[in-house]
Every structure is written in C-alpha cells, then in structure tokens.
Amino acid sequence: MSGRLWTGVFALIVLWPLPGWLAGDPEPWLVALIALGLATFVGLYLKVMWTALDRPHENREPVALVLLWLVAAALTPPLGPFWLFASMFLVITALVSSLSTRAVFIWVGLTIAGIVLGIATQASLSEFWWIPALALLFALAMHNHLQLRRANQILARARARAERLAIDNERLRFARDLHDILGHSLSVMTLKSQLAGRLVDTDPDRARAEMTDVEELSRKALSEVRLAVSEYRGLCLSEEVDNARRALHAAGMRFEVTGRTVPQEASSVFAWVVREGTTNIVRHSRAAHCRLHYGVDRDQAFLELSDDGCGPGKSTEGRGLRGLAERLQAAGGTLYHSPAPDGGFVLRAVLPVEGSA
C-alpha cells in the first residue's frame, strides 16, 4: 500500500512545468488538451508502476509502457524542455522498474536520444545539456537502487527460509530427545509391570518391589521430560549404563560392560546410544546376553552394544535409530548397525575426539 501511495505522490512532478507554461496565456482548448494529456500520462505511469510493484522487471504492461513513452514525446512541443526534465524521471522509473536489464539499456538509450532531439528542436542544446546528462545519471542510480532492493528481497527470503529450517530442526531435535527419553523409561516400566502382574500371586513381595521400581521410573521420566523442556540436553554415560543394567536384569538378561573413560563430548552422545540401544534390546531382541564395550582408539571414541537375540526384523532402522544417526551426524560421528555374525544385533557409534593419541 505504501509503495502505491508514494508512486502516486511522485507522479505530481508533472505539475512542475505548468506554471511557466500557463504564464504564456495559452488558448483554453489547448489547456484542456494538455490537461487530458497529463491525466493520460499519469494514468499510464501508475498502471505500469503498480503492476511493476507486484511483478518487477517482467514488463507485464508493454502497451501502456509504449503509450507512456509516446504521450511524453507528444507533450514535449507545447510544454518545452522543462517538461522533458520533469517527465524523464517518471519515464525512466517506469522503464527501469518494468524491463529486464538488457531492455532497460535499449529503452533508456532511446529516451535520452529523444530528450536530446526534443531539446534540439525546442531550445539550445548547449543551454540544457544537463537534462540528458541528469537522465543518464538518474537511470543508473535507479537501476542500482532496484538491483540492491532485489538483492535485499532475496536475502530476506533466504533468512526467512533459514529461520523456518532452524525451527524445524529444533522441533525434530526435541521430538528425538522426547522419544529417546520416554521410549526407554516406558519400555522398562511396561516390562516391570508385566513381571509384577505375573508375580502378584506367587511372590507378592517381589511384585511390590517391581511396582516400586515402576513408580521410581515414572518419577524419573517425568523429571527428565521437565529437564528436556527446559533446554537441558546432557546425559551421563555412567548413569545410562547403570539404568541399562537394571533394565536388562529385570528382563532376565546378563549384561557385560567393558571399556574405559571417553571424553566428555563423546560421553553425552554415547549415553543416548546406550539408552536407545537398550530400549530396542528389551523390546525386540529376546536375548539372553548383552555386551557393552566403549573407549578411545587413536583419534576416535567408540561404543559398541551387541546382543545374542533374534537379530533384526524386517525393518532394521526405526525412528529411534534414525534419531541416533542424526544425533551422531550432528556431532560429527557415525552410527553403524548390522546383524551379528553369530546371531543377534550390533550397534556401534564412532565419534572423533580432539586431543586423543
């Protein structure tokens, strides 16, 4: 709306040569004819410019643009060089806004040639040489201004796309965190609840102990969700190993851990791998024995989680493993998973670390 308003205000420059011309006391019919010509000129200019505001440099009004140029030329004999000076701003603005770069040079060149011809027929070119010179400078300035405006618009669109992408990535990261946090806890709670249901008649004390663990896990899951919502993302590898040991023990599996300390930047990422890998083992593997091995080899930290269960099903990569792969990739690492040679499943994460020998 503001663009159309200022375009209309700018068109008032056509009134500038009128006081001097009216001082010559022209005939009434000529005044009416000039008023009609000026109205036509302004109408054509607004038609071209208002279209160019929506679709710049596409020349969607070629007829109106040619008529604008011709009406400007037709008004030159009665209004003289000062009309050339006033109208050239509007004509050049319309040309530069509507045409492509190559067409602009052609039409601006024709316009300046017409200005020179008009001055030569109406007055002394040596006296009004500054009008075509100013027209050339104005055309270059307007062209550069519109190029800068176009670049700013492209930059603004790129910034908007980057902001949307950042929001989408943050949503994906939060969804991945929430899946990893709740998936593990809910799987263990489900397993313990089923175990308590089976033991409620034969071993009530053990059943109560399992339900106590379920309550503790639910409180911990709630706490972790609150921490995630408050932008906390860190996990402790040693805590997740302990959680995995409890979960696998409750499922009747043996759990063997070997390894040594990994750097802090790898510990937090590997903690997510242990959590998601343990969740998948409890849910799907029906394994009897699990093994976790981690450490640092040269300039890479590694973690390997394997089991002797039934191996991968039809789909070897669910949402959780995809989330882990994205998490490792964001940290500069890689996630590998494959069937174990003797049956079961192997999950291996590798992460480059700084300062490792």
| DSSP collapsed to 3 states, 222-282 | HHHHHHHHCCCCCCCHHHHHHHHHHHHHHCCCEEEEEECCCCHHHHHHHHHHHHHHHHHHH
Same domain, residue pair 178 and 319: yes
Indicate whether 75 pLDDT > 80: yes
Same domain, residue pair 312 and 229: yes
Q: How far apart are CA 357 and CA 354, in angstroms?
A: 9
Tell me the pTM. 0.43
Q: Is 177 a domain residue?
A: yes
Q: Is 285 a domain residue?
A: yes
Q: Is 310 a domain residue?
A: yes
- Phi, psi (5° rounding) for residue 292? -120, 130
Closest alpha carbon to 308 in 257, 258, 253? 253
Domain interval for residue 304: 165-352
Q: Is 346 a domain residue?
A: yes
Same domain, residue pair 32 and 100: yes
Q: For residue 357, what pLDDT band results from cuts at 50, 70 and 90?
A: very low
* Per-residue pLDDT reduced to its tens digit, 255-306: 999 987 888 878 888 888 998 888 888 888 888 899 999 999 878 899 999 9
In sequence order, the 6+-apart residues with CB closer than 8 A to the CB of 10 are 89, 90, 93
Indicate whether 145 pLDDT > 60: yes
Same domain, residue pair 72 and 197: no
Same domain, residue pair 315 and 215: yes
Among 108, 128, 148, give the residue marking a domain's end: 128
Q: Is 216 a domain residue?
A: yes
Q: Is 357 a domain residue?
A: no
Same domain, residue pair 114 and 241: no
Same domain, residue pair 15 and 120: yes
Q: Is 206 a domain residue?
A: yes
Same domain, residue pair 334 and 188: yes
Indicate whether 351 pLDDT > 70: yes
Q: How many CA atoms lie within 13 A of 159 on its CB side?
A: 6
Same domain, residue pair 123 and 202: no
Same domain, residue pair 326 and 190: yes
Task: Give the count of beta carbons closer than 10 Å to the beta carbon of residue 264.
Answer: 11
Going from the C-alpha of 340 to that of each of 1, 178, 335, 343, 345, the distances in angstroms are 67, 29, 15, 5, 5
Task: Say which amino acid occupies 17.
Answer: P
Q: Is 150 a domain residue?
A: no
* pLDDT of 18: 84
Indicate whether 1 pLDDT > 60: no
Among 73, 108, 128, give the residue marking a domain's end: 128
DSSP state for residue 150 in the 8-state scheme: H
CB of 118 closer than 8 Å to CB of 76 = yes
In sequence order, the 6+-apart residues with CB closer than 8 A to the CB of 234 are 268
Same domain, residue pair 106 and 176: no
Q: For residue 164, what pLDDT band results from cuts at 50, 70 and 90?
A: confident
Domain count, the chain: 2
* pLDDT of 292: 93
CATH number at residue 322: 3.30.565.10
Same domain, residue pair 212 and 115: no
